[in-house]
Chains A and B, each alone.
Chain A
Amino acid sequence: MASEKNFNFMGLRKIAAGLSIVVLLISVASLAMNGLKFGLDFTGGSLVEVGYEQSPDLNEIRGKLQSAGYEDAVVQTFGSPVDILIRLGQSHDPKLGDQVLSVLETGEDQELTLRRNEYVGAQVGEELREQGGLGLLLALFMVMVYVAFRFQLKFSVGAVAALAHDVLIVLGVFSLFKLDFDLTVLAALLAVIGYSLNDTIVVSDRIRENFRMVRKATPVEIMNISLNQTLGRTIVTSLTTLLVLTALAVFGGELIHGFAIALLIGVLVGTYSSIYVAANVLLAMGVCKEDLMPPEKEDEEVDERP
């Protein structure tokens, strides 16, 4: 049913390009000025160990700490149910232990003891930042090579542009609203890359097919036909993914929140970018029928079918 609709997607491409550029500029500017608010996993912080007489409710502890302004506290049992380990993002301060203890003592009818108050290093060190960054670049490069080989160089530029667009915007949102960037958000960012890539390739695939099949159509018309044909699928897939993510955001609790938000933004932006960024870049580079002719050996594809 959706495939029968006929939206003139590409009619809006100039506006979309403008919008993308403005949002990207805001993202980059915010990243340059505000940077990212890295969570405990990246920055390290302080560690406080508290001994209880009877095993406490960890969530109560989390609640107390949160209302006292220690928002990113990690609370876990340590060795036994009565020993509680608390990690905080605050830089180390000898008084911190006593401050935390007094927060926890309020409304408690048992005696608490401060066992330890120390500095802890980052969980993910420079190693991850360096290696991870390098890995990401290498991954992008390999994706470009593969897409250039299977499709055509212009398509690979489009796919990578769409990827970079999505990642930058998600990072921009986290930077602009000063949301905590922790390991779960990093995981979400990687998932966004996966999703965006998937979406872009699906659309590119249809564009390639239509360039070969449809005679007498301008590139803009080809784009429009392809986008309309894949629209039904794009909506259904985004919708199902968004369903899972909304469930995560609503029912998942505090710790998955950042993760779900990052992915929600990522999926929305990723869906938009596979329509407007990838296709737009293709048009801007002047993709034409000849780019995809002659078609690759058809018999090779037959072998790969199930």
Chain B
Amino acid sequence: MLNKYPLWKNALIVLILLIGGLYAAPNLYPDDYAVQISGSRAAYTVDQQMLNRVTKQLQAEGLVSKESELNGTSGLIRFSDSTTQLEAKETVSRILGDNYVVALNLAPTTPEWLTSVGAGPMKLGLDLRGGVHFLLEVDMAQAVAQRLDVYVGEIKAKLRAEKLRYRSVVHREDGSLELKFSKADVRDEASQLLKQDYTEFLLTDEDADDAYYVVVSLLESKVREIEDYAIKQNLTTLRNRVNELGVAEPLVQRQGRNRIVVQLPGIQDAAAAKRIIGKTANLEFRLEAKTDASSASTETYTFRDSSRRATLEKDIIITGSSVSNAQSTFDENGQPQVSITLDSKGGELMNRTTRNAVKRRMAVLFVEHKSRNLVKTVDGEQVTERVPYVEKHIISLATIQSILGSSFRITGLDGAGEASELALLLRAGALAAPIYFVEERTVGPSLGEQNIELGITSVQIGFALVLLFMLVYYRVFGLLANVALTLNLVLLLAVMSIMSATLTLPGIAGIVLTVGMAVDANVLIFSRIKEELANGLPPQSAINAGFERAFTTIFDANITTLLAAVILFAMGTGPVKGFAITLSVGIVTSMFTAIMVTRALVNLTYGGRTLNKLSI
């Protein structure tokens, strides 16, 4: 029979709408201000006992929490306002010390029965709700020092190649290099050579009683260049890391000469983000020193998980920056390991070194740049000073079984969690220079509360006007279309929430366009029905023909737009992505509601009856 959906089709539509309603519901609950605690390494975990202790101590200091809860390996303490949240964060990090990461967060208040089916609210972007703000400082002195270390190697090689005998090439405290020679004419020749080859050097000759020196310092413009490079490289690495975290719509931006701002919207796992972003971990691969090696060319380090020690050669074979890919896997005994692939240069170095070192042992050294805050009293005022320091521990020391090439594995890690974290860090790239957290705050929405309210109100007014217009113009059919249009918004919200997409202003643009396209689909159908009626078809056949004939048009128009949206999503970043997500989701949901739901409603209203006239 015309215009009658089979029961299963109606049931399917109702089922989809119910599920949609369920998953859209969490958006009705506002978020809590919260402080999140997690271990700074996978080895440190948070338990209920510790949470209770912390909340008790907070209460003693007059900071009342609403609730505290445990989520796997991290804890969450909720507060009713942002001022308490900020004070509590300071207090908690003081109580727990360095081994835990304490971060600000916004926690959803979705009721348990909703979270138990995996429902959660949609995230709002930085422009609409603000988020967590990290200010990072790049250690420029380190960036320059690292570059100078590379020059040391280069200069040595060059002097050797030219057969110019030097006594030493060292890196001075003041950031210059000191080349020591025993003969003045050799010194002059070397000085001449360097002047030719390096325009970025500032060379001064110094004579002492028993030796002749060339002091090499870098031109200011070269220092700037190194610093700019360090910042750019770090920006890229941080963007990679943030992307690996799966944070939608982040902001990574340079600020001032040596700082980087990272802003993450809303309710991410801020503690994990802080841990990953802030990690300046790197790896160094070194050979174990031979027993007869001189102490000047060796260094002794402890293992990470025990007080055992090992003496290693000072020379580094390669560092983590030569790693082109890293995956965490398990070995045949079920122990976590990281499979590493090196770039061609790194592979060559590794190959050359291990060729003469089979049966010797190679260490993987875990290097972490950290900083601690020292509170000093200067002129009666408390000043917090950040003191950077470097921690180096051996994570594995294994016998080289055969010559290594560009791919091999590291074992001896703390657990699967650590293996995957290490792999992520190696994959996301090394930082060109260490970074330190200078500041962590929550920022308000950049668009401003009132602007957002105005925006939302205007969208509502616009939506109401559309509903009114449809009702007046198409009467009963308009009413049915309006129901479908409203359901479309619910579904859109539900899908966005399920995908945990982030809504931003460009996303709202996508929604506005979706409303337009959903209306368009119904308009296409209804004007076809009108046309068919004008051509003399009876009402029931006109309805049927209208839906059927408009379908190809709607299909083509929507698929074309969807295609464009999907490509924009794949290629775009930030705002373009946000727009593309809402638009793609909106097209799919609007095709469902504008065609299927409207049809079902029309069928329920008119189907199976004898009609003389249609209210359209």
On A, residues with C-beta under 8 Å from B are: 3-4, 44, 47, 58-59, 62, 74-81, 83, 85, 87, 118-124, 127-128, 131-132, 134-136, 138-140, 142-143, 146-147, 150-151, 159, 183-184, 186-188, 190-191, 193-195, 197-198, 201-202, 205-206, 229-230, 232-233, 236-237, 239-241, 243-248, 250-256, 259, 263, 301, 304-306
Q: A79-B86, A187-B509 are in contact. Are A306 and B458 (CB under 8 A)?
A: no
CB distance A186 to B506 under 8 Å?
yes
Q: A187-B509, A247-B465 are in contact. Are A236 and B441 (CB under 8 A)?
A: no
B153 adjacent to chain A (CB < 8 Å):
no
Q: Which residue of B lies closest to A204 (CB)?
A: B556
Give which listed residue, B83, B257, B505, contacts A183 with CB less than 8 A.
B505
Once bound together, how far apart are the Cα atoms of A231 and B473, in whole Å? 15
Contacts of A254 in B (CB 8 A): 451
CB distance A248 to B556 under 8 Å?
no
Closest-CB distance, B68 to chain A (whole angstroms)? 23
Once bound together, how far apart are the Cα atoms of A77 and B508, in whole Å? 23
- With A74-B446, A79-B441 given, name 10 new contacts (CB 8 A): A4-B534, A76-B445, A159-B560, A187-B506, A187-B509, A190-B583, A201-B556, A233-B523, A245-B462, A263-B509
B552 adjacent to chain A (CB < 8 Å):
yes
CB distance B451 to A253 under 8 Å?
yes
CB distance B568 to A190 under 8 Å?
yes
Which stretch from B155-163, B175-183, B569-577 is at the chain A interface? B569-577
Once bound together, how far apart are the Cα atoms of A209 and B82, in whole Å? 61
Closest-CB distance, A206 to chain B (whole angstroms)? 7
CB distance A240 to B466 under 8 Å?
yes
CB distance A187 to B463 under 8 Å?
no
The 4 closest A-B pairs by CB, nearest first: A135-B571, A187-B506, A244-B462, A79-B441
Of B133, B466, B515, B556, most A-chain CB atoms within 10 Å: B556
Which applies to chain A's interface (DSSP): helix, strand, loop or mixed?
helix
CB distance B506 to A58 under 8 Å?
no
Contacts of A306 in B (CB 8 A): 547, 551, 595-596, 599
Q: A190-B509, A190-B579 are in contact. Are A255 and B455 (CB under 8 A)?
A: yes
- Give residues of chain B (518-559) contacting chain A, Cβ–Cβ below 8 Å: 519-520, 523-524, 527, 530-531, 534, 547-548, 551-553, 555-559
Closest-CB distance, A229 to chain B (whole angstroms)? 7
Which stretch from B205-213, B247-255, B351-359, B361-369 is at the chain A interface? B247-255
B14 adjacent to chain A (CB < 8 Å):
no
B256 adjacent to chain A (CB < 8 Å):
yes
On B, residues with C-beta under 8 Å from A are: 82-83, 86, 130, 133, 239, 251, 253-257, 259, 261, 441-451, 454-455, 457-459, 461-463, 465-466, 469-470, 473, 505-506, 509-510, 512-513, 515-517, 519-520, 523-524, 527, 530-531, 534, 547-548, 551-553, 555-561, 563-565, 567-568, 570-576, 578-580, 583, 595-596, 599
CB distance A247 to B509 under 8 Å?
no
Once bound together, how far apart are the Cα atoms of A224 and B565, in whole Å? 31
Give which listed residue, A120, A121, A128, A206, contacts B574 with CB less than 8 A.
A128
Once bound together, how far apart are the Cα atoms of A269 and B202, in whole Å? 61
Q: A79-B442, A187-B579 are in contact. Are A195 and B458 (CB under 8 A)?
A: no
Once bound together, how far apart are the Cα atoms of A122 and B253, in whole Å? 7
Once bound together, how far apart are the Cα atoms of A141 and B85, in whole Å? 51
Contacts of A127 in B (CB 8 A): 239, 573
CB distance B458 to A252 under 8 Å?
yes
Pairs A–B under 8 Å by Cβ, sample size 13? A76-B448, A77-B443, A118-B259, A136-B568, A139-B563, A183-B575, A184-B505, A194-B517, A198-B561, A230-B527, A255-B447, A255-B448, A305-B551
Closest-CB distance, A159 to chain B (whole angstroms)? 8
Q: A59-B448, A201-B556, A248-B458 are in contact. Are A121 and B255 (CB under 8 A)?
A: yes
CB distance A135 to B572 under 8 Å?
yes
CB distance A201 to B560 under 8 Å?
yes
Once bound together, how far apart are the Cα atoms of A259 and B505, in whole Å? 10
Closest-CB distance, B501 to chain A (whole angstroms)? 15
Once bound together, how far apart are the Cα atoms of A151 and B579, in whole Å? 28
Closest-CB distance, B563 to chain A (whole angstroms)? 5
Of A80, A85, A123, most B-chain CB atoms within 10 Å: A123
Contacts of A256 in B (CB 8 A): 451, 454-455, 458, 505
Contacts of B450 in A (CB 8 A): 58-59, 253
CB distance B466 to A135 under 8 Å?
no
Contacts of A128 in B (CB 8 A): 572-576
Q: A183-B575, A305-B551 are in contact. Are A58 and B449 (CB under 8 A)?
A: yes
CB distance A135 to B570 under 8 Å?
yes
Q: A78-B443, A247-B458 are in contact. Are A143 and B255 (CB under 8 A)?
A: no
Once bound together, how far apart are the Cα atoms of A119 and B259, in whole Å? 10
Contacts of B470 in A (CB 8 A): 240
Of B509, B524, B575, B576, most A-chain CB atoms within 10 Å: B509
Give which listed residue, B530, B547, B576, contacts A232 with CB less than 8 A.
B530
CB distance B571 to A132 under 8 Å?
yes
Q: A78-B444, A306-B551 are in contact. Are A244 and B515 (CB under 8 A)?
A: yes
Q: A119-B256, A188-B509, A191-B510 are in contact. Are A243 and B465 (CB under 8 A)?
A: yes
CB distance B564 to A197 under 8 Å?
yes
Contacts of A142 in B (CB 8 A): 563-564, 567
CB distance B530 to A248 under 8 Å?
no
Contacts of A252 in B (CB 8 A): 454-455, 458-459
